[in-house]
Amino acid sequence: MSSDDYVNIFPSQNREKSQNLNISPFLNYDSNFMRKTQPEFIFPEGATKNRGRFELAFSQIGSSVMIGGGVGSLVGLYNGLRVTSLLQQQGKLRQTQILNHVMKQGSATANSLGTLAVLYSVFGVLLQWTRGTDDNINTVVAGTTTGLLYKSTGGLRKTVVGGCLGLTISSLYVLFNLANKQPNFN
Amino acid sequence: MEEYSREPCPWRIVDDCGGAFAMGCIGGGVFQAIKGFRNAPSGMNRRFLGSLSAIKTRSPIIAGNFAVWGGMFSTIDCTLVHIRKKEDPWNSIISGAATGGILAARNGFGAMAGSAIIGGMLLALIEGVGILFTRLSADQFRNPLPPTEDPAALGDPSTSGSGPFGFGQPPQQYQ
């Protein structure tokens, strides 16, 4: 008879052994089975521990659109002020011209930044699905392919330039994240 | 589980704006691809080129319009949540109508009213379909009814003899 069996039969006499367990010593089983080695969490069905690319995609696209709209509007305001003062337009004409500049430049910048974000998100989600992981390689590859595709209708030279631009920006972003000790974030 | 998968309120605006932009970009891309293909001069190469140029020029604009709609809708929705202190289908319907009206403000009062009615009805349809699906999917989780027990099978408690364990039943013979 080993000591463990002895514990099972007369559990209360071996109290120092079962002291740190939260189970009553009078239960008729080996309480070592119930020892918890790690905390357990309940996740909803099909969910993972942190959010993947698809969950983050919409907010990334939305913030790109909004940032593009804001920056484009500011640039349009500056351009409109400059152009109207150069042409010496006054009054209601100037007001309308500035408004036109702001709206056109703002929507154009918002649309192109948003399209870039959509392309990046689509590539990121596809890479995550095909590779099964979500890491920095996905970010760099998605950024590069986004640059390549976005400039792909403008000839080979522009395509390469766009791809290099995407590669540079995504690599800088990944390096920035690595330097701040945040690995594996989008 | 819709309520748990959505973002909390101020961030929902960004999320809805992005979702609408993505929807407009991809859906508008497909739409413009077909339209450009049909509109182009004959010859397969020209048709594909026409399709491509239509996608390039038109689909970001459609996406931008979608994004403005989504962002405005979500902003009004969150404002209504803040004011009314509750989230219900009426929020969506009101904000859909208001968005339609506001975004048609430059086109005159008649266009505003028409867009508002269309927006409100669209969102009412969406909410109605959502409620319908919730009802249908809730039906299959209903617990089965417990079997009804007929108390008459137990016999009359007043007339039968009372054994040591008998609750109205005559003591049974086991041999």
Contact B81, B59 (CB under 8 A): no
Question: Which residues, at least 6 apart from A65, have a Cβ–Cβ distance to it below 8 Å?
Answer: A110, A111, A113, A114, A117, B17, B18, B21, B64, B67, B71
Whether A48 and chain B come into contact, CB under 8 Å, resolves to no
- B contact residues 69-108, partner A, Cβ 8 Å cutoff: 71
Q: What angle do CA B117, B120, B125 make, to 5 degrees?
A: 120
DSSP class of residue B148? P
DSSP class of residue B41? P
Label residue A25 exposed, middle or buried (CB < 10 Å: 0-12, 13-18, 19+).
middle
> What is the predicted pLDDT for the residue at B1?
35
A1, two tokens: 């008879």
Contact A162, A150 (CB under 8 A): yes
pLDDT at A144 over 60: yes
pLDDT tens for B10-39 read 888 999 999 999 999 999 999 999 998 888
Contacts of A111 in chain B (CB under 8 A): 60-61, 63-64
> What is the predicted pLDDT for the residue at A43?
62
Provide DSSP, B158-169. TTS---SS-SSS
**Percent above pLDDT 70 for chain A:** 69
Contact B50, B36 (CB under 8 A): yes
Measured between alpha carbons, how far is A112 from B61 in angstroms, rounded to an integer? 9
Report, as an integer, the average pLDDT of A25-49: 62
Quote the ipTM score.
0.70
Measured between alpha carbons, how far is A106 from A173 in angstroms, rounded to an integer? 25
The size of the A-B interface in CB pairs under 8 A is 72
| SS3 (DSSP) at A25 | coil
> What is the predicted pLDDT for the residue at B170?
58
Contacts of B4 in chain A (CB under 8 A): 44
CA B149 to mean position of chain CA atoms:
42
What are the residue boundaries of the structural domains of chain A, listed by start?
1-46, 53-131, 135-180
Q: What share of chain A is helix, strand, coil (3-state, %, to 5)?
A: 70, 0, 30
Distance from CA of A69 to the nearest CA of B (A): 10
